[in-house]
Amino acid sequence: MSADPPPAGVVSVAYLGPPGTNSEVAAVRVFPAARHVPYSSVADAVHALERGEVSRAVAAIENSLQGSVTETVDLLIRDDGIAICGELVLDIEHCLMVRPGASHAGIAVIYSHPQSLGQCRDYLERAYPGVPTVAALSNAAAVAEMLRVPGSAAIAPARAAEIYGAEIVGCGIQDSRVNRTRFVVLGRAGAPATGHDKTSIAFAVAHDRPGTLVSVLHEFSDRSINLTKIESRPSREELGIYVFLLDIEGHRDDPLVAQALAAVKEQADFFRVFGSYPAWQPEPSAQP
């Protein structure tokens, strides 16, 4: 999505706070002219959207190193009152930071969001073997905690160091230079068709009959509809029962897509369309 003025009615956007998180960067990038409201968790941001306190919410849903952000995915599965109406992909650079003037040689504990800790696992094992890591609700919250605890460090974006006055002692510490996070924009309904769209769905089929998943996938392949993502999540009902998540090319109002979705719904024990929305396109300067 481009950094255009927000659509009419989008005056406030919820994100995982506090200020200084990558979620805030994504929210500002998508809606630069809106009011950006931090919440302590993705669930709180989504509930604020449902209550009408904000017009949109922005949440991370997938990382190129760590895979899906399960909190966001599970909220979409459980909650039919929200919909994906946009997406954005950000390049993520992690920095190690300490209290101003503190030595990074004697670090006794490192704080960060679980996703960021996972994305920097190789670096941490190599540079700080045996140093315990502690999960925080967000990277910015990790920085705030680090500033209160002598002998600690935090992993966060450089913007967090600027906001909170931390000292950066290492940048680009993620395990791969290609570290990207996909964020989704959440609203109360999907977006209208643009001609370059994606649709995200979730479904479950009978697990005790052979071929049920293959049958569903044929509904798309038989209509030449491309799948851009497929994964599964536990149903939370019983071990071995899964909800499948698909991203497909096209809008739910496109005739062939509509036919495929109707056929899948007919075969599914559980079915939900997360939304149709404009597919992210990188800026020309971001292309390899």
pLDDT in tens, 257-280: 999 999 999 999 999 999 999 998
The answer to whether residues 278 and 1 touch, using CB atoms and an 8 Å cutoff, is: yes
Quick check: is 165 in a domain? yes
pLDDT at 112: 95
Distance CA 33, CA 56 (A): 13
Q: Which of 134, 160, 189 is the last residue of a domain?
A: 189
136, 163, 189 — which closes off a domain?
189
Query: Quick check: is 288 in a domain?
Result: no
- Considering the domain architecture, whether residues 183 and 243 belong to the same structural domain is answered as no
Angle at 198 between CA 77 and CA 230, to 5 degrees: 55
- In angstroms, the Cα distances linking 242 to 85, 205, 245, 285 are 25, 8, 10, 40
Q: Which of 22-31, 203-212, 238-247 has the lowest mean pLDDT?
A: 203-212
- Residue 7 covered by a domain: no
Mean pLDDT across 51-78? 91
State the Cα–Cα distance between residues 67 and 182, nearest whole angstrom: 10
pLDDT for 8 equals: 53
End-of-domain residue from the set 108, 136, 171: 171
Query: Catalytic pick from 181, 199, 203, 244?
Result: 181
> For residues 184 and 242, what is the distance between their CA atoms, to the nearest angstrom?
23
Confidence class of residue 92 from pLDDT cuts 50, 70 and 90? confident
Question: Does residue 78 share a domain with residue 183?
Answer: yes
Please tell me whether residues 66 and 167 are part of one structural domain.
no
Highest mean pLDDT among 37-46, 199-208, 233-242: 37-46
Mean pLDDT for 237-252 is: 91
CATH number of the domain to which 124 belongs? 3.40.190.10
* Statement to judge: residues 183 and 83 lie in one domain: yes
pLDDT of the residue at 224: 96
Share of the chain above pLDDT 90, in %: 71
Report yes or no on 40 lying in a domain: yes
Domain tally, the chain? 3
Q: Nearest-5° angle of CA 101, CA 102, CA 103? A: 120
Q: Which residue has the higher pLDDT, 260 or 65?
A: 260
Q: Which two tokens stand for residue 201?
A: 């769905």
Q: What is the pLDDT of residue 2?
A: 36
Instruction: Give the residue with greater pLDDT, 123 vs 65.
Output: 123
Q: Sorting pLDDT into bands at 50, 70 and 90, what band is 106? A: confident
Locate the DSSP E strands across the chain.
12-16, 35-39, 56-63, 67-68, 83-91, 95-98, 109-112, 133-135, 152-156, 167-171, 180-187, 197-204, 227-234, 242-249, 270-278
Q: What is the CATH number of the domain that holds 232?
A: 3.30.70.260
Q: How confident is the model at residue 88 (pLDDT cuts 50, 70, 90)?
A: very high
Are 48 and 120 in the same domain? Answer: no
pLDDT value at 4 more than 90: no
Tokens 């609700």 correspond to what residue?
Answer: 137
Catalytic residue among 21, 31, 133, 183: 183
Tell me, yes or no, whether 202 and 274 share the same domain. yes
pLDDT of residue 284: 55
* One domain for residues 48 and 184: yes
State the average pLDDT over residues 6-18. Answer: 78
45 lies in the same domain as 183: yes
Query: Is 284 within a domain?
Result: no
201 and 240 part of one domain: yes
Residue holding tokens 């009152």?
81
Q: Is residue 181 annotated as a catalytic residue, yes or no? A: yes
68 found inside a domain: yes
- Whether residue 287 lies inside any domain: the answer is no
Domain of 48 in residue numbering reads as 12-92+179-189
Q: Which two tokens stand for residue 62?
A: 């997938």
Percent of the chain with pLDDT over 70: 94
Same domain, 106 and 53: no
Task: Give yes or no: residues 134 and 67 share one domain.
Answer: no
Residues 154, 169: Cα–Cα separation, whole Å: 10
pLDDT digits (tens, 9 = 90+) for 138-193: 999 999 999 999 999 999 999 899 999 999 999 999 998 888 999 999 999 889 99
* 43 and 185 share one domain: yes
Residue 264: inside a domain: yes
Mean pLDDT for 124-151 is: 94
Catalytic-residue membership of 183? yes
